[in-house]
């Protein structure tokens, strides 16, 4: 009962014995409390620091217990004063933080700000994730580095531990990269949802449908991001995410070949991309694979179509209704 006041159970026992038997010395207190004499001396030191015992005027060299009415009243008063001081320091710290946040808000534009550099982006993601209350929507095209995934994990874990709904889209190609697959499965184990598709929208992270980060340069997301708060832009980003999410495949499931064509989702998307005139490099970037992988896919398609050139493959794919 007295531990909240800093009085251990053993010291409380010794104090009570001194109240009941004012003339007992250390050895007698040890026998009565069933404690070693050395332990009793430690308890007397603790009681002395708390000003619950004082030197005895009647028995030189011994201590006497201060009456509970006086001792605990003074102890409570001291602790209340210390608590008031801590609360005052906490209030001052809170005010300083509030001023810092307000000053940052004043420096931002009404609809968002540029966040330049990966350190600044990670800081913004941590701040926005910490303030999220309902959901986080993420689109992660391309191949993320192990370092980027490692930096993101603590913030993701903190948000998921608070019951935040988290949905993340990756490209099908990431299933072939162990470090991304491991991170995605970790997200699943924490209660998040993860899906993949051959191609997905540009990189974005949307918090509570009220703010988002999108790359300032879609071709190089490491340059930085734009912090978006404009409702119209956010609504468009969320619609884009939902459309891609609804056609993506949950991680752990497999995307079956189309029964009428035998095409995989990646192969069908590749035909569409090359049909629009994209180069192997450009199509590979959209699919999150290398130009060499694009070449292997096309070689397989040309063989199945019995085509001697890509142009002929395109014609035959259109004739079969593959495009």
Q: What is the arithmetic mean of pLDDT over 253-278?
A: 63
Residue 241 located in a structural domain: yes
Query: What one-character DSSP code corresponds to residue 214?
Result: E
The answer to whether residues 23 and 116 belong to one domain is: no
* Region for residue 161 given its phi and psi (left: phi exceeds 0; alpha: psi -120 to 50; beta: otherwise): alpha
Residue 273 located in a structural domain: yes
Q: What is the CATH number of the domain that holds 132?
A: 3.30.870.10
The answer to whether residues 142 and 216 belong to one domain is: yes
The answer to whether residues 33 and 143 belong to one domain is: no
- CB 40 within 8 Å of CB 59: no
Q: How many domains does the chain have?
A: 3
**Average pLDDT score, the chain:** 80
Please write the tens of the pLDDT for every residue from 176-223. Answer: 778 888 888 888 888 888 888 887 888 889 999 999 988 888 777 788
Residue 105 located in a structural domain: no
The answer to whether residues 237 and 120 belong to one domain is: yes
Residue 160 located in a structural domain: yes
Residue 107 located in a structural domain: no
CA distance 323 to 307: 16
Question: Pick the residue with more confidence: 137 or 69?
Answer: 137
- The confidence score (pLDDT) of residue 245 equals 87
- The confidence score (pLDDT) of residue 285 equals 73
The answer to whether residues 232 and 154 belong to one domain is: yes
- The confidence score (pLDDT) of residue 230 equals 87
The highest-confidence range among 60-64, 182-186, 251-255, by mean pLDDT, is 182-186
Looking at 250, 282, 306, which one is the last position of a domain?
A: 250
Question: Pick the residue with more confidence: 4 or 8?
Answer: 8
The answer to whether residues 269 and 243 belong to one domain is: no
The answer to whether residues 306 and 230 belong to one domain is: no
The answer to whether residues 211 and 117 belong to one domain is: yes
- Strands 165-171 and 135-140, sheet pairing: parallel
The answer to whether residues 120 and 33 belong to one domain is: no
State yes or no: pLDDT of 279 exceeds 80: no
The answer to whether residues 116 and 240 belong to one domain is: yes
The answer to whether residues 155 and 230 belong to one domain is: yes
Q: What is the CATH number of the domain that holds 283?
A: 1.10.10.10
Please write the tens of the pLDDT for every residue from 107-119. Answer: 554 445 888 888 8
The answer to whether residues 33 and 122 belong to one domain is: no
Interhelix angle 9-20/37-49, nearest 10 degrees: 90
Question: Tokens for 35?
Answer: 């404690």
Give pTM, 2 decimals. 0.52
Q: Which domain holds residue 200?
A: 112-250
Residue 260 located in a structural domain: no
Residue 83 located in a structural domain: no
State yes or no: pLDDT of 88 exceeds 80: no
Question: Pick the residue with more confidence: 155 or 1?
Answer: 155
Please write the tens of the pLDDT for every residue from 132-181. Answer: 999 999 998 877 788 878 888 888 888 888 899 999 998 887 777 788 88
State yes or no: pLDDT of 263 exceeds 80: no
Residue 234's CB is within 10 A of a number of other CB atoms, namely 18
Residue 307 located in a structural domain: yes
Write down the residue that tokens 């890509």 correspond to.
310
Looking at 192, 217, 250, which one is the last position of a domain?
A: 250
């Amino acid at each position: 009962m007295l531990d909240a006041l800093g009085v251990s159970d053993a010291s409380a026992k010794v104090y009570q014995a001194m109240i009941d038997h004012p003339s007992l010395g250390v050895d007698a207190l040890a026998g009565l409390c069933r404690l070693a004499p050395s332990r009793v001396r430690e308890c007397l030191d603790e009681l002395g620091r708390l000003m619950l015992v004082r030197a005895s005027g009647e028995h030189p060299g011994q201590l006497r217990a201060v009456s509970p009415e006086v001792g605990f009243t003074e102890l409570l008063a001291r602790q209340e004063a210390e608590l008031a001081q801590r609360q005052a320091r906490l209030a001052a710290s809170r005010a300083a933080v509030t001023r810092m946040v307000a000053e940052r808000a004043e420096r931002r534009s009404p609809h968002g700000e540029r966040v330049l550099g990966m350190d600044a982006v990670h800081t913004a993601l941590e701040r926005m994730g910490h303030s999220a209350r309902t959901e986080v929507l993420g689109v992660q095209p391309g191949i993320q580095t192990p370092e980027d995934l490692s930096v993101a994990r603590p913030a993701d874990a903190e948000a998921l531990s608070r019951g935040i709904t988290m949905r993340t889209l990756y490209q099908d190609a990431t299933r072939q990269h162990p470090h991304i697959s491991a991170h995605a499965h970790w997200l699943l184990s924490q209660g998040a949802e993860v899906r993949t598709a051959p191609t997905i929208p540009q990189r974005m992270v949307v918090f509570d449908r009220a703010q988002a980060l999108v790359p300032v340069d879609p071709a190089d997301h490491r340059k930085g991001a734009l912090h978006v708060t404009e409702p119209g832009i956010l609504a468009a980003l969320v619609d884009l995410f939902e459309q891609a999410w609804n056609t993506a495949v949950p991680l752990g499931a497999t995307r079956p070949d189309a029964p009428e064509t035998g095409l995989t989702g990646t192969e069908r998307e590749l035909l569409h991309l090359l049909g629009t005139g994209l180069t192997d490099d450009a199509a590979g970037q959209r699919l999150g694979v290398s130009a060499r992988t694009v070449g292997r896919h096309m070689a397989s398609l040309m063989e199945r179509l019995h085509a001697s050139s890509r142009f002929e493959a395109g014609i035959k794919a259109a004739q079969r209704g593959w495009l």
